[in-house]
Structure 1
Amino acid sequence: MSARHVGVVGEPAVTGRDSAARSAQEAVQWAVQLRSGTMSANERHALDRWLAASADNQAAWHKLADSLSALVAPAGVDHAAFRSALLVKEPSRRRFVLTGVSALAVASGGLWFWRQGAVDALPGAAPGVWMRTAIGERRTFEASGGSSLMLNARSAVQDIVSGDVHTYALDKGALYMDAPAQPSRVTPVSVRTRDGYLQTQSGAFGVTLVKQGTRVQVDRAYADILTLSGNRARLRAGERAVFDRNTIWRDAAHGPSFTSWTQGLYVASNTPLGDVVDALEPYLPGLLTITDEAAQHRVSGVFHLDRPEQTLQQIQDTLDVHVERFSRYMTVISA
């Protein structure tokens, strides 16, 4: 079945796992068609209709988008700002990406994704339970020892168990861990990312995966950072840092909270617009991208993540930028 025939009316209905597997295969076919650069306007509209047809289709498309790494524009979109946006090299600015056969394979009715930067399995640990959120969804989960764990939109964490120890491996997005004081707690609450660990016996902290590494802010008590290379640091309430596998950079600035997303807000204070777009991206379906020039605009204000369309309008009304929607699933911000 070619990409242009995906979702033809009258094909047999499928449900459950069959539906998800079919959506995954169709997403690949659509991506290949998009990559070819030969999509007509009618075919782009057909892609929009396919995306809107079911939650399985949307989930498959976004999973594919998150798993690949090179963006190609549909044919026929002759707009300088759009082309400029597609050339942005930062991964956080680019979505709907395709690298070719090495990135994916369709076999036995299933879709296998190559994922870059994922958290490695812990030695001796049992396979863990996954906790995930969808586009625009924040959700709180119960964690071990009476703790709670909130996930930002489009985030994923795995609860990996080794003996009596739970390690929460953040694979994508952002989480907020709240570990109340427990006199009976023997082992610390532990969060792992691709860069290292954060641990506390009692505290509240937010963790976000960013292009530089892992960003953390402590809101109560303390959290200890241990990088994969063995460097250590303790952050206390009100302190922030970014760390990668080797280095810890403390943030001495007293800017807006990194964890305001837990309240559905992004607070900016002379912040690059590109950072606001990164925060808004998990709350919008499809492609949201920004040109380099527009990303450098400085902005201050409170932005509502749960009302992304209103927030985009707010950005356009208050800054010298253009917000253009090429379809429901494609938005470009340019200067």
Structure 2
Amino acid sequence: MKPDHAALSDQAIDYLVRLHSGSAGAGERMEFLRWRAQSPAHERAAREAEALWGALSETRSARNHRQRARRPRRLAMLAVAACVATVAVSIALPEPLAGLYADYTTRTGERRMIELADGSRVWLNSHSALSVDFGADSRALRLHSGEALFEVAKDPARPFIVQARGGEVRAVGTRFDVDSRGPQVRVDVTEGVVQVNSAGGAPVRLSAGERLSYGERAAPEPVQPLDLSSASAWQRGKLIFNQRPLGEVLDELERYLPGRILLTDAELRQHKVSGVFDLDDPGALLKTLERLQPVTVTRLPWLVLIRPAPRA
């Protein structure tokens, strides 16, 4: 009878917890080496467990734990859980202490619509922070982090300006999306015209159906076409993917779930995914992936581990 991959993964993680507890001796290390040499499946489970432990060890608390740990195994397991929680909390704030200075914020998985004093409306996506400063001559907003969709009320005397990471988007009456989650800020225009000013280049005008990305100190990338049918689908409570790599899909999904999603196999990142998914049930996407893709999904506190499915 072939060993069950999930059971082997649990055993491998159990071994690593003991080996990193600070009390393991040479005998226990030899026992782990003998265990992982039993079969290719044992070795694969050991490598995946080591990849998981390596991801956790990047946190300062994990490093300190490995240096000081001299506690019984049960406390070591609790420390591992604390490391996972530290990873999750470190990504939970859009910026350090963003909620203390932003006018509007959203938690993980939360989406919020805001009515502004001029009649404009803003939809904040998960994990976002926004400040608003309206004056007599302009309507200034700052997207500290995250993503927001702006539906701007017309007022030619007061341009509507959204600042994000060293650049700004100017509009009078239009509808556009600003996403500052990644290394670059992305601007999508679904109605009207906006002007994007960034520190790295000349101003660029964007019309409906166009997209542009810019960095803080780099010239903006060339204007790209925008698929209006799927643009800002999150505002409608949907995630829409059309032949998107699995790695990108998981990066997008991660923002709506607490904690982290860890994909242990680099080749799987390129598997293509298509579908329409409900944001009110992001866990259903994981179930669908497990059913349609060659993956196994393991849910841990503050962590989702995605591994290659065992071969039949």
Q: Same fold (TM over 0.5)?
A: yes
Query: Which residue type is aligned with residue 64 of structure 1?
Result: S
Letter in 2 for 1:308: P
Query: Corresponding residue for 2:182?
Result: 211
Within a 5 Å distance, the mapping from 1:182-201 to structure 2 comes to 182=155, 185-201=156-172
Distance in 1 separating the partners of 2:83 and 2:215: 39
Q: What are the ranges of 5 or more consecutive residues in structure 2 without an aligned counterpart?
A: 1-58
Q: Does 1:141 align with 2:144?
A: no
CA change 1:135–1:253 in 2 (3 A) is closer
| RMSD of aligned Cα (Å) | 3.3
Q: Is the alpha carbon distance of 1:303 and 1:35 closer, same or farther for their aligned partners in structure 2, counting shifts above 3 Å?
A: farther
Equivalent residue of 2:250, what SS?
A: helix
Aligned residue in 2 for 1:221: 192
Q: Deviations over 1:136-173 (max 9, x none)?
A: 11001123421111100111112245665332211221
Q: 1:195 to 1:318 in 2, by over 3 A?
A: farther
Q: Is contact 2:212–2:221 with CA below 8 Å preserved after alignment?
A: yes
Give 1:231's aligned residue: 202
- The answer on 1:35 being equivalent to 2:35 is no
1:272 and 2:245 are equivalent in the alignment: yes
Structure 2: distance between partners of 1:285 and 1:134: 10
Residues 1:128 and 1:328: Cα distance change in structure 2 (over 3 Å): closer
Change (3 A) 1:161 1:41: farther
CA, structure 1 residues 250+295, in 2 after alignment: closer, same or farther (shift >3 Å)? same
TM-score by length of 2: 0.67
User: Which residue, 276, 284, 300 being the options, matches 1:310?
Assistant: 284
Name the structure 1 match of 2:91.
Answer: 65
Q: Distance in 1 between matches of 2:292 and 2:138?
A: 49
Residue of structure 1 equivalent to 2:307:
334
User: Aligned equivalents of 2:239 and 2:292: distance in 1?
Assistant: 16
Is contact 1:144–1:166 with CA below 8 Å preserved after alignment?
Answer: no
The residue that corresponds to 1:85 in the other structure is: none
Residues 123-142 of structure 1: CA distance to partner in whole angstroms, max 9, x if unpaired?
Answer: xxxx9752100111100112
248 and 266 in structure 1: CA distance in 2 versus 1, 3 angstrom threshold: same
State the partner residue of 1:257.
230
Unaligned 5+ segments in structure 1 are 1-30, 52-57, 69-112, 119-126
C-alpha separation between the residues in 1 aligned to 2:60 and 2:221? 40
Change (3 A) 1:164 1:238: same
- Give the % identical residues: 27
Measure, in 2, the Cα distance between the counterparts of 1:332 and 1:270. 22
Q: Within 2, Cα distance between the matches of 1:324 and 1:63?
A: 20
Give 1:36-185 correspondences, 5 Å limit. Answer: 36-38=64-66, 40=73, 42-45=75-78, 62-65=88-91, 129-160=102-133, 164-182=137-155, 185=156
Q: What does the per-residue CA deviation read over 1:104-140, in whole Å, with 9 as the maximum and x for residues that have no partner? A: xxxxxxxxx869xx9xxxxxxxx97521001111001
What TM-score does the superposition give when structure 1 sets the normalisation length?
Answer: 0.63
Distance 1:166 1:41 in 2: 55
- Quick check: 2:209–2:225 contact (8 Å CA) kept in 1? no
Higher strand share: 1
Question: How many correspondences in the alignment?
Answer: 242
Between Structure 1 and Structure 2, whose CA radius of gyration is higher?
2
Greater helix content: 2
